[in-house]
Chain A
């Protein structure tokens, strides 16, 4: 019994803590604003993407007809993203490929950043909510652009005028459900990894790598794909509803 107790809750085990830490605060027009670990992680992720982009740009300047080496990798990534957007959006793909590619790469590298020992920025609700709000703005803008005010009002009041509040809630629920889905998936991985590293810290040798493969790589990639896919589906729906 004593051995079990020592294994599962040793006396000097560290505290379970997977929260975001504030680094320093400053005064922003009377509000106290904190710079947190999420900001630092986002900057690291952005530096990784920026470094890759600069390297890719330098390589593509002297691109050859038959690609080889690094040029292959860059072309593969661009072709895969273009193909994904093309398959989901059809003729609207060209206009949205940039946005979808940007959020796809950012969310993917954010989710993978758990492998570098960072707390993934997408495990902060502020990040995922910002992403979802951007998507929501695009959906709403496309709705008004392609269906005009009359079409939007008609869509809200279908099938009947009294469905208006339910349709409104349905529209507002889109960004909340999208952001919560991504946030909760990444956070669940962070929580389980933290529990293993703190409560089972004297057993956590080598095998937690499989946790990272599942939660960071597999789950992270799937959630990235789902976020991009849902964005494309909603935007496409907003455009196509205006064409009938």
Chain B
């Protein structure tokens, strides 16, 4: 099997896309922590359930951003292939 430079770049792009998605670990932990604290907050003060849920969702959506950067990088590497000449 012959592997030329372009094939190598494509293969490395695929590996890079996989590595970029490791960024999903952080937001996963962060969102879990936020949801856990929100659950305990609802347990302490069930009356404020609506406010707590809204705040939790807003915070989680912001925390998600770093994971989404990883996703965008992976998609660029896989489908736009900027490194392939």
Task: Give me the interface of A with B, judged by CB distance under 8 Å.
Answer: 19, 177, 180-181, 183-185, 187-188, 191, 222-223, 225-226, 229-230
Contact = CB atoms under 8 A, between A and B. Distances in A.
B57 A181 contact: no
Nearest to A178: B65
Interface residues of B, number: 12
A181 B27 CA distance: 13
The 10 closest A-B pairs by CB, nearest first: A184-B68, A226-B61, A181-B65, A184-B72, A184-B71, A222-B57, A229-B58, A222-B61, A177-B65, A188-B71
Nearest to A19: B79
Given A181-B68, A226-B58, 7 more contacts: A183-B72, A184-B68, A185-B68, A188-B71, A222-B57, A225-B57, A226-B62
Contact of A180 (B61, B62, B68): B68
B20 interface: no
Nearest to B54: A225
Main SS of the interface on chain B? helix
B52 interface: no
Main SS of the interface on chain A? helix
A112 B31 CA distance: 24
A153 B64 CA distance: 31
A86 to B, nearest CB: 14
A185 B65 CA distance: 9
Nearest to A17: B79
Interface string B34-64: 0000000000000000000000011001101
A187 B69 CA distance: 12
A100 to B, nearest CB: 15
Contact of B75 (A181, A187, A223, A226): A187
Contacts of B71: 184, 188
A193 B46 CA distance: 37
A170 to B, nearest CB: 14
B72 A225 contact: no
